[in-house]
Every structure is written in structure tokens, then in C-alpha cells.
Structure 1
Amino acid sequence: MKKTVIYVRRSLNEVKQKTSIDYQISTCREYAEKQDWLVHEVLNEGEKSARSTELEERKEIRRLMNEVRSGFIERIIVFKRDRISRRADQYMEFVELLRTHKVSMHFAGDNEPQMFDGVVGDFIELLFGAISEHEANNINQRLIESRVAKVREGEWGGGRPSKFYHIEEGGKDGKLEKKLMITIENKEIIKKIYEFVANGDFKTVKEANIALKRKWKFNRDLDLNEFIPKELHKGWMTATFEDIGFIRSKAVNNRLKAVKDDLWNAANEKLRNMENAFIDKEIFTEKPKLEEILFCRHCKSPLKAKALKGYYFCPNHTLGLRVSIKLLDNEIIKAVHSRITTHVAKNKNEIITYVTQELITPLEKEHSRNETALEDAQERLQKMTSVCIGNPSKYITDDEKKKFLKAYVDEYKTCYKKLKSTKMELEENRERFKSSLTKMLPFPTIQSLSNYKQKELLRFFIKRIEVNSDFRVDIEYRTDMNK
């Protein structure tokens, strides 16, 4: 029997996280009970970012995806879309997997529209993913600004602590703070490593690394190429942030300082004079985007890609058809982007109106229900107040009146609080969705998107591409966007 499972995740610790794990689980279970579904398992990811991690790096969602591929899952219940991912490329990758294996996904959170089906549905899901990513980027930007400020003050700005350093948690007034710390013993170890390099006579970095590991076993995973140039060892906090670049603290943090400047400079001078210092280990390859939709015009066979060599080729073609991955991908992207932007610009208002309506309608219904509930509560309170006033002999003192009316007053306050909350959420979301869509439409240049997202868009709009040895390209689109 195929399973119904619940997947939950939170991004922050319990102190800051608004939607706790327990609340997500209970809401998803209530949703399942209303549908008469038996929940077989709850996959609890715990505290894990859905923006900075890949799907494969999250243990529970990786297991879920494997079970989907194996045919064990019938349906998945999550609180909201952003529990799966806050990146559009990841979200659409997950959606495509579910569609391929005919697994349904349902959302239990208030005002979260259920999944849209069909070609238009895929497009709207892509928009949902983009909106979630847009919101995540705003959150991340505020987080980066906070981290930059900490780094400039010489404190830890997040990320994995450097070797021999550790994080200590503390705080006051309920506010959690994390500080980068180092023990006296570890300061001595760092100092010895710098002295080892500064006083050594090594021809290559590899030779120095081997000698270091033989001398001290605790340094087996240490690479001098990365370790010696760290300014943190002399008390300077540094970090590199996307779109901001390199940040350096305003002053030395003596709490973190392990070596003096002259020793640090001497060790770095020795390192620079060694062979193979600062080798760039990164290998660049082309990432093909047209596989599965690219075909040979002569024999109709799918073209394959050799990413390391940078070309598509037809294994059956006697003429040895080869096309540059980079050049062909760019030409196809330009053609698709032109087609998309023309269509979206022409129908922008209609698209915004339709998508906003689909997002806002559930909130409007909830707001209407809360208005009715408040009116009913107000009517009952007025009625009971009249009863109280009409029986002065029974309800003489103010305490007796308050006791009699307490339940009706509390009901009115609760309804008013819900109505106020829903109204604020309605207005915020109406503006938020409209603003996100307005900024997103027309689409940004496809080249600015991630590799996976580019592939998603190309496959959404293109059914087939044929290319011949003269590099003539014919594109067959999935739908006529002019209709």
C-alpha cells in the first residue's frame, strides 16, 4: 500500500521560528483527518535552511525523493510551499519529480492555494516558486546586512568556524548570541604551525603538508595553502558576501588573535616562495541546458553532450555533427526570452490579476468568515448585556455583571483579534504578491537565473529543437503563446 506522509522543516531556532515543527505537524494531521487520510509517517527535517542547502543535502527530503522514485508514496502533505524550498529551481525540481511519478502534494497552511495542474498550472507553480525565492532573498539580504555589521565589529558573521575555533552560545534578556572563541591551548597549536612553516625549508606546499602531518597527527585534514593566509589568526575578522564582496573588521579582535604580525608575515612569505602555492583547484565545465529536447535534423536522434569538451554531438551522424554548447544554448535562450517577454509584456495586467486573485481569494474568504463571526459575537454580547441590565435585582454589583458577561466579552475579543489579524495579513499579502509579480514580470533575463531554472523554463516553452550540420535551428514550441 502506498503511503501518505507529512514533511516538516523550520529554518531558524525555536526562539525565532514563527511556525514551529509541532504546529506544522498538528496542522498537517488535521488536514489529513478532514480528508479521511491515514498518515503513515512524519518526516521531520528539523532545523534546516531551504535556501542555502541543496535538496540532496537535506536527509529527510532526500529520503522522501528516493521513496517517490521507488513508488512507495501516494501523497505528501506540507504546511506551505516554502517548506519544500525557498528556491524556485529546487521547488520546480521537486514538483517535476512528483508529476513524473504521479504523486500528489497538498498544503495544510491557511490561505495556501493547492497545486495547479496542466500547462498553465506548471507556469503558476513556477511563479509561486519565484515569489518564495524573492521573499527568501529579502530575508537573506537582511541577514547578510546583520552579518556584515558583526564582521566589521570584529565578531563572527556566521558560517562554519575556522579550524581550532569554536562557537559559544549565550545571551541575556531572552536574546540568543553566538560568539567565536578559541582556547589558549588551540592558540598555542596555531602558533606552532606558523613557526613550523616560518622556520622550515620546503620546496613545495605538498612537501610541507606531508611533513606537518607526520609531526602532528591532529593536522591530518589541514592544508597549509588555506590555513597560513587566514587573517583571523592575527585577529582580523574577514568574510566575503555575495553582491558585497570582501569585508574586513575595523580593528583587531585580541580575543581571537593567535599569532603576532611578524610571525604571520614570515610564514606567508615562506609559503609564497614554495612551488604549487595557491593552486586553483576548481574545474570549469559547460552545463548543457538543451539535453532531451535537442535532436539531429538528419537522423532525428537526440543529441548528446560532452560537457568537459563543450559541445553537443550526434553519435549516429556520419558527418560528425558537433555544436558548441555555449553558443547554441545562448542562441536558444535569446529566442525563448524574446518570446516570453513579448507575451508577458502584452498580457502583464491579466497575469498579475489572475495570479493575485488565486492567491488572495482564500484570505478574503477567511476575512469574510471572521467578519460574520465578529458580528454574531457582538450581537450575543449586546443581547446578554440587555439581559443583565433588565435584571438589576439578580446582577447588582459590577463583579456580578462582569462574571455574567465575561464569556461573551472574551468571545468578542477573540473574534476581533482574528479579524484584525486576517485583515492585516490580507492587505500585506495583496501588496506583497502584486509587488513581487510586478517586479518579476516581464521576466528577468534568463541568463541571470540558475542553470536548473534556465533548463526548467526552456523545457516549459520548447517541445523540440532540431539542428543540422549547417547549424540551422528549428524550434517547436509547446504552445502558441499568441493565442
Structure 2
Amino acid sequence: MIAIYARQSVDKKDSISVEGQIDLCRNECHGQEPRVYSDKGFSGKNTERPAFQRMMTAVRRGEIEKIIVYRLDRISRSITDFGAIWETLKEHGAEFVSISEKFDTSTPVGRAMVYIIMVFAQLERETIAERVQDNYFQRSKRGAWGGGPAAFGWDLVRMEIGGKKATTLAPNKDMELVKEIFHRYAYTDTSLGKIAAWLTEIGVSGIRRKTWDNVSIARILHNPSYVRADADIYYYY
């Protein structure tokens, strides 16, 4: 049995859809009807994908003799993960074909190409992650918000910082509650559970649901956005 595997993490204008990947891979089946596995909305940085896991289970059962993908990074973006996948395929006699990179692991050159391409795929992923981290650092350095949703008690606002428009944090009406949470935890004989019960009792909606719990209070107490950015805080976090 031939299997086609397709994956797309997010819809983008410049990326090929799951359906498009499957159509292109069918051309490599040479008249055979393949078994199709697809994961939409899943990253390739790990193998925690439902359709992928079902496909690998079928490989271990000896049901699949060849896997066809549109591009190598559709099956994995990690050298370590792909190494484990490749060992499983070899152990159970399954071949691997990528139609974009034009290689087939049934040949020695194809097997060598797999490892070479995976090295550069991981390099690209790590370079992107490094650029994102540098971008967060530069935003924070000039007083802008690094990214993501604002914590309880903050609103995201647009303002001019250093001559440029940027998103930063501004306290809202809930900031007084945040101060009270810190005060109660630091200066009274109370617990996370008691603070959560107090907020629920006075009718304050939780961050993700109506009621509060120990975890949501602990997240507030450990969130660095509520404290002054000095050397002590830098080394603490």
C-alpha cells in the first residue's frame, strides 16, 4: 500500500494547501490508489499529529510500503524526529519519496539527500526562531510590548515610542485588583485558594473562565509584567 502524507500548519497565500499537496503526490502513485493521511493546523516541529501517528502505526503493522510527501519538511522539521522516522521506515521495509526535492530512498543517492536536506531544514527553523527572539528583545528594549495577549489588569495600546508607533501596556480598571492580590498574598495569612475564592465571590470573571483557581492566581503572582524592570528582577527571571 502506498501512503500520501500532507501537512499545513496555517493557511498562507504563498503555501500550498493540503488538497494541493495530495493532488501532486497522486501523480507519483502510477495508477495505484493511495491511502491518504493529512494534518491541517499542526506544526512540523514535533510528531504529535493525529494523522501522522495513524500512518506510522500502519507502517509498523507492515501495511505501508511507500510514503509520498510533497516536500520533506511536511513530514518533519526536526533532524532528530526524522532520524527516528527514517529508522522506523527502514526497519519495516517502507520507502520514502519527496516529489519536490526529487529523491527516492530506494536509491543510495536518495538516502544521502534525505540527511543533507534535513540539516538545512533544521538550520532554517532555528534561524527563524532566533530572529523572532531577537525581535522580541528589540521591542522590549525600547519599551514596547514583546507580543502575545496582555495579562490581567493590562490593556494593549498603540502609542509613539522613540518616534515610532508601537504597542505597549496600559493599566485598566482591574489593576487595583492585581495590587490587592499581591497585598493579600504578601501581607496577610491567606492562600492562593482563598484569594481565588474571594475574587469569585465578589463577581470578578476569571482570565479564561468565570471562576478563579490556584493556577490563575499563581500565574499573576509570577508574571514579570507587574514588577519594575530592575537588576534584581532581571536576575530573578
The answer to whether structure 1 residue 209 and structure 2 residue 187 are counterparts is no
Q: Which deviations, in whole Å up to 9, do the C-alpha atoms of 1:28-80 show, x marking residues without a partner?
A: 12333xx112123231x2233323xx21x223322322232233333322111
Maintained 8 Å contact 2:104/2:110: no
Maintained 8 Å contact 1:148/1:157: no
Q: Which deviations, in whole Å up to 9, do the C-alpha atoms of 1:102-122 show, x marking residues without a partner?
A: 22222222x43222556x865
The answer to whether structure 1 residue 156 and structure 2 residue 108 are counterparts is no
The equivalent of 2:3 in structure 1 is: 5
Change (3 A) 1:193 1:166: closer
Measure, in 2, the Cα distance between the counterparts of 1:117 and 1:62: 26
Match 1:30 to one of 8, 24, 27: 27
The answer to whether structure 1 residue 40 and structure 2 residue 40 are counterparts is no
Measure, in 1, the Cα distance between the counterparts of 2:9 and 2:131: 15
Return the offset for 1:88. Answer: 0.9
**Count of aligned positions:** 211
Return the offset for 1:85. Answer: 1.5
The equivalent of 2:83 in structure 1 is: 92
The answer to whether structure 1 residue 198 and structure 2 residue 186 are counterparts is yes
Return the offset for 1:181. Answer: 8.1
- Within 5 A, what are the aligned runs for 1:184-195? 184=172, 187=175, 190-195=178-183
Q: Which deviations, in whole Å up to 9, do the C-alpha atoms of 1:162-221 show, x marking residues without a partner?
A: 7648999xxxxxxxxxx798995754653442233134225xxxxx23433444442243
Q: Which has the larger radius of gyration?
A: 1
- Within 5 A, what are the aligned runs for 1:170-189? 184=172, 187=175
Match 1:138 to one of 99, 124, 127: 127
Return the offset for 1:132. Answer: 1.7
Change (3 A) 1:26 1:233: farther
Q: Which deviations, in whole Å up to 9, do the C-alpha atoms of 1:394-429 show, x marking residues without a partner?
A: xxxxxxxxxxxxxxxxxxxxxxxxxxxxxxxxxxxx
Measure, in 2, the Cα distance between the counterparts of 1:59 and 1:182: 41
Maintained 8 Å contact 2:153/2:172: no
Measure, in 1, the Cα distance between the counterparts of 2:21 and 2:154: 32
Change (3 A) 1:133 1:197: same
Q: Which deviations, in whole Å up to 9, do the C-alpha atoms of 1:376-409 show, x marking residues without a partner?
A: xxxxxxxxxxxxxxxxxxxxxxxxxxxxxxxxxx
Which SS does the other structure have where 2:77 is aligned? coil
Change (3 A) 1:186 1:95: farther
Match 1:230 to one of 223, 228, 231: 223
Change (3 A) 1:167 1:213: closer
Q: Which deviations, in whole Å up to 9, do the C-alpha atoms of 1:285-332 show, x marking residues without a partner?
A: xxxxxxxxxxxxxxxxxxxxxxxxxxxxxxxxxxxxxxxxxxxxxxxx
Maintained 8 Å contact 1:166/1:180: no
**Percent identity at matched positions?**
21
Maintained 8 Å contact 1:77/1:107: yes
The answer to whether structure 1 residue 49 and structure 2 residue 43 are counterparts is yes
Where do 5+ consecutive residues of structure 1 fail to align?
A: 169-178, 203-207, 237-245, 247-277, 279-483
Measure, in 1, the Cα distance between the counterparts of 2:153 and 2:146: 11
User: Runs (4+) of structure 1 moved beyond 6 Å?
Assistant: 165-168, 179-183
Residue 8 of structure 1 aligns with an amino acid whose one-letter code is A
Change (3 A) 1:139 1:167: farther
Return the offset for 1:123. Answer: 5.3
Measure, in 2, the Cα distance between the counterparts of 1:13 and 1:71: 33
Measure, in 2, the Cα distance between the counterparts of 1:68 and 1:167: 50
Change (3 A) 1:223 1:68: farther
Measure, in 2, the Cα distance between the counterparts of 1:105 and 1:228: 50
Measure, in 2, the Cα distance between the counterparts of 1:116 and 1:157: 46
Maintained 8 Å contact 2:97/2:105: yes
Change (3 A) 1:157 1:184: closer
Greater share of residues in helix: 1
Maintained 8 Å contact 1:9/1:83: yes
**TM-score between the two structures when normalised by the length of structure 2:** 0.68
Maintained 8 Å contact 1:80/1:112: no
Match 2:212 to one of 195, 218, 221: 218
- Within 5 A, what are the aligned runs for 1:6-405? 6-15=4-13, 17-32=14-29, 35-43=30-38, 45-51=39-45, 54-55=46-47, 57-109=48-100, 111-115=101-105, 117=107, 124-153=113-142, 154-157=144-147, 161=149, 164=152, 184=172, 187=175, 190-201=178-189, 208-215=191-198, 216=200, 217-222=211-216, 224=218, 227-234=220-227
